[in-house]
Structure 1
Amino acid sequence: MASKQMLHMNHGQGETSYARNSSIQSTEQNRMKHLIEDAIVDLCSTLLPGKMLIADLGCSSGPNALALVSIAVKAIHSHCLEFQQPTPEVCVLLNDLPGNDFNTVVKSLVTLQRSNAPVVVTGIAPGSFYGRLFTSGSLHLVCSSNSLHWLSKAPENLTRNRIPAYDVDEHARRERLPVVLDAYAQQFKKEFRLFLELRAKELVPGGQMVVSLGGRHSNDIASKSIRPCEALYEILHVMDSEVHSFTSLA
């Protein structure tokens, strides 16, 4: 549980904060817009709910925290206005790990609460989405963007055998790479299955889920998708070498 509490994006609104450095994530959320709108149309057309609960899992902080739920709320307003349907009351629930900067998120929620009718009730649900978060059959729409690639823990067979995810020794790293990739792939399958099982319990019958996460186009372990990690390692390695050189001179 300690690792879950420590893991979070940089807090606040400073130059190095997540709020100021999350444009890539914002672009991905924009791609989800039409999917969320379609989900809302389906919910409003088939279920005709008097109230609607919407949850964003892995909301993080900053402007992105409200992006998906804001799209959903606007879509509800537009659909009900166009088809002259009674507008449901909306409850928006934002989830992330306990270490998330919820202070910033709560301040942003005020703008959503001030939106036009229907009544928009907001709430925070701290905790891992690899565990139960909501009551059974309560959610109408679940959204999640750029979050499900985060696993709850490293693969047990790697930690048990003390195999690092990224070995400092290049030869050892390349030799173990297939084992490491397979271990993480299996861990992801296990946890994604768990995620789906948990959300199936929390969604109402006919509920919707819109999820976006990164992936690879190729099964080739040397594909371009892993090269940014190698570049980052090289940068950190050079920085580490320079620090040691400076310490020696001092």
Structure 2
Amino acid sequence: MASKQTAPIMNQGQGETSYAHNSSIQNAEQNKMKSLIEAVVVELCSNTGTLQPGKMVIVDLGCSTGPNALALVSIAVEAIHAHCLQFQQPSPEVSVLLNDLPENDFNTVVKSLVTLRQSNDPVVVTGITPGSFYERLFTSESVHLVCSSNSLHWLSKAPEDLKTNLIPAYDIDEHSRHERLPIVLEAYAKQYRKDFTLFLKLRAKELVSGGRMIISLLGRRSDIIATKFPFLPEIVAQILCVMVSEVHFNTFFSSMHL
């Protein structure tokens, strides 16, 4: 959940089990955004009215930690330099701001930000904006480009409908779990619509006129359940049933609603 009260965070540090060493899938998704970011940067740099007086603010919402934290903003900064060099234009002053929850491991992120700033000095300044992206994070009409990858699936809180109907986070009984599945799916969908609408309203206030937002997140068509989209958690559950005893299996819970 992308709420500062109860949100889990990615494994910190640089160890074997850290997010930094186990986020290749997220990095692959970020690489798919490269051409989109470059195209948007060209549009922004070509629109002199948007960039007046020669400044650009770029933010990444849900940056997490490790090498992925700077992937999107680095693409944007490089695209700005390439465009200005090609058309022999002076580079705008660029402010790069990274956001995630306060509990996020920003230690390695800060070191990487220093490197990014020094390698692009003096036209790039950097900063960190901790907080939930379901709250206001930046001043009105101050941001030119918002990027976010693999972050907006986190909700602000657990669906209220589940609490109202006294539906537990997990039913050990498989029959009850499948029987309540439609209610659970609708509850999460309703919460997501509410959160995503709020997210868009907040960013609309923070973006400058003509600003851009590029978002990437995992999804699927609602009419594809099992035939074309294998339900991986069910496969994992079957494997776990074979590998571990029932008592330990019943104490394991991982929530996933696709």
Does TM-score exceed 0.5, indicating one fold?
yes
Identify, as 1 or 2, the structure richer in helix. Answer: 1
| AA aligned opposite 1:31 | K
SS at match of 1:163: coil
Superposed displacement of residue 115, structure 1: 1.9
1:113 to 113, 117, 120: 117
Structure 2 gaps, min length 5:
250-258
1:189 aligns with 2:196: no
Take 1:171 and 1:220, find their aligned partners in 2: how far apart are those partners? 22
* Structure 1 partner of 2:144: 140
Take 2:199 and 2:230, find their aligned partners in 1: how far apart are those partners? 25
* Structure 2 partner of 1:19: 20
Cα deviation 1:74-117 (Å, max 9, x = unaligned): 00000011111121011100000111001111111122012235
Q: Percent identity?
A: 68
Structure 1 gaps, min length 5:
245-250
* Structure 1 partner of 2:99: 95
| AA aligned opposite 1:106 | V
SS at match of 1:60: coil
Pairs within 5 Å for 1:40-119:
40-46=41-47, 47-49=50-52, 50-117=54-121, 119=123
Aligned CA-pair RMSD: 2.1
Take 1:168 and 1:243, find their aligned partners in 2: how far apart are those partners? 12
1:208 to 208, 212, 222: 212
| AA aligned opposite 2:167 | I
Take 1:194 and 1:240, find their aligned partners in 2: how far apart are those partners? 44
| AA aligned opposite 1:188 | Y
Which of structure 1's runs of 4+ aligned residues deviate more than 6 A?
A: none
Give the TM-score of the pair, scaled to structure 2.
0.87
CA contact (8 A) 2:3 2:157 kept: no
Take 1:192 and 1:35, find their aligned partners in 2: how far apart are those partners? 21
| AA aligned opposite 2:31 | N
1:39 aligns with 2:40: yes
